[in-house]
Amino acid sequence: SGESGAGKTESTKLLLQHIMNLCKGNSQLEQQILQVNPLLEAFGNAQTAMNDNSSRFGKYIQLRFHKNTVQGAKLSEYLLEKSRVVQQDAGERNFHIFYYMFAGLSSEEKEIYGLLDPSLYRYVSGRFGTQDTAQRWKHKYKEVCNALDMVGFQEQEQVDMQAILAGVLSLGNVTFEPEESNGSAKVSEASRGWLKVAAVSGCIEPACVLFSALLWRPSVSCCCSFCADARDSIAKVAYGRVFGWIVCKINELLAENVDSEVELREIGILDIFGFENFAVNRFEQFCINLANEQLQHFFNHHIFQLEQAAYKEEDLPWETITFNNNEPVLDLLLAKPLGLLSLLDEQSAFPQATDKTFVDKLNSSFKGNLHFQPGRGRVLAFSIIHYAGKVQYTAKGFLEKNRDTLPANVRGLFVNSITPLLSVLFKGKSFCFAALLIFPCSHQHSLMVLMERMYSANPHFVRCIKPNSQKEPGVMDSQVVLQQLRYNGLLETIRIRRDGFSWRPSFEECAER
């Protein structure tokens, strides 16, 4: 754990390499497991203001052993930041894979996928970088292709996957304008070519079928903003399902092939998104910080509460060490039926509810709460005093992202695609979405499952500390480091380790010595 950019993913890769080296083997399975991380980074990481290679999802890797040899592995992923596909803030980029494709595909391959100059695409905002950067991305694209081959993806699956990603980019360039005759919306003349390319990439023919899906509306007159939301919703869901499919395929290919009677031991590694506080914090930052809040509570429980309870139980002389208990913050966020998430779910269930009614509900429900502050002036926002500090969240989009709905006719559109992969991605029964937990509305449940795993394990904590806020190598900012040591509870941890009892042999071990 640690802040965004503190080195969690790099530490995870080093730890995996170390474990594989300790196995003293060089089997194909072990090599496949090592290839999983660069593959997931390409599709799940992106440049942010805090980190050039920021994980925009959380992952839990389970390694299964028999007689000190790896027999299989399983990957669980949490809360992919799908909104990044359609929108990035200043100084940020989309997921790496889009840039790798532009840099790594040949001219002939780009023509097959309908890809033009990257500066033309709204979803990547023309941020392509320097020639050196492009060369680095070209090398990364080759690494991704090698990883796909090594893990076991078929060639046609890789082609279909890249066609879908190219279609997502083309879809983002489709714009809308009012229909003069009846005030409804239509695809603008200038972007009809993009619509056709997006339809061809998804093998949805004719293009008018995709056109109809974009203009679908429940019972209100169609407007341009509604159609733009439908376009972005399709792009986010398509990307999210490609990512989920990759995880499912990885799990199929890395599953252990042993008799059910064989008892397997397990090491699990959790690499989860770090605490974030940007200039503008949205629903995604709220979910990320909630996860970190729960992990901090787990750390406190294990390091302070269980530790000191053991000393008390054994009647050891001990002066209780106090720590910053974040239970009140979790009560504010998770309590039922009046916690923040419960109120969000309640508001999401009302069709007439808006982000403003949601904020009004929060302001009235949490008036006087020491860990909640209403937004000032006319700003539609609220602040939470987290264990790591105060974060202001803009409320715009909270309800929409929590609902995360996709019209049924759009789903049917892709189910009937003649691209096998796209069809499979949208057929619910043949794809394990419930297990993947990639949608924001299931965030609370996925965190609950994750915490159950943590509490049932024998945990070791790797606390990653960020040396400075400028992403500079070799620079140690004492104040930045000290702030992290304080809010992580590491100063109290050092004290309990220094004054406590770090070596605990069993009675048998002690007697034998």
For the chain, domains (ranges, CATH) are 8-171+232-278+402-456 (no CATH), 283-401 (1.20.58.530)
Instruction: Describe the chain by its helix, strand, coil percentages, rounded to 5.
Output: 55, 10, 35
Annotated binding residue 8: yes
Annotated binding residue 368: no
Note whether 201 and 166 are within 8 A (CB).
yes
Per-residue model confidence (pLDDT) at position 225 = 78
Active site residue 55: yes
Per-residue model confidence (pLDDT) at position 444 = 66
Note whether 77 and 270 are within 8 A (CB).
no
Annotated binding residue 4: yes
What's the average model confidence in pLDDT over 282-299? 92
Catalytic residue among 1, 4, 12, 233: 4
> How does residue 429 score in pLDDT terms, banded at 50, 70 and 90?
very low
Active site residue 274: yes
Q: Which of 366, 36, 404 is nearest to 229 (CA)?
A: 404
Phi/psi of residue 393, nearest 5 degrees: -110, 130
Say which range, 180-184, 232-236, 346-350, has the weakest mean pLDDT: 180-184
Region of 24 please: left (phi>0), alpha (psi -120 to 50) or beta: left
Active site residue 276: yes
What's the average model confidence in pLDDT over 350-375? 95
Active site residue 54: yes
Note whether 391 and 282 are within 8 A (CB).
no
pTM of this prediction? 0.87
Phi/psi of residue 183, nearest 5 degrees: 80, 0
Active site residue 5: yes
Distance CA 423, CA 241 (A): 11
Site of tokens 């691209």: 419
Catalytic residue among 55, 94, 402, 493: 55
Per DSSP, the residues of 418-479 read SSHHHHHHT-GGGS-HHHH--SGGGHHHHHHHHHHHHHTS-----------SS--TT---HH
Annotated binding residue 202: no
Query: What is the per-residue pLDDT across 437-493, written as a single tens digit (0 to 9) for each?
Result: 333 447 667 777 888 888 888 899 999 999 999 989 999 999 999 999 998 889 899
pLDDT at 330 over 60: yes
Strand 381-386 to 389-394 pairing: antiparallel
Phi/psi of residue 127, nearest 5 degrees: -85, 85
pLDDT at 79 over 90: no
What's the average model confidence in pLDDT over 21-42? 85
Annotated binding residue 428: no
Note whether 195 and 174 are within 8 A (CB).
yes
Site of tokens 């500079």: 472
pLDDT at 134 over 60: yes
Distance CA 379, CA 96 (A): 33
Distance CA 220, CA 238 (A): 25
Close Cβ partners of 209 (under 8 Å, ≥ 6 residues apart):
199, 413
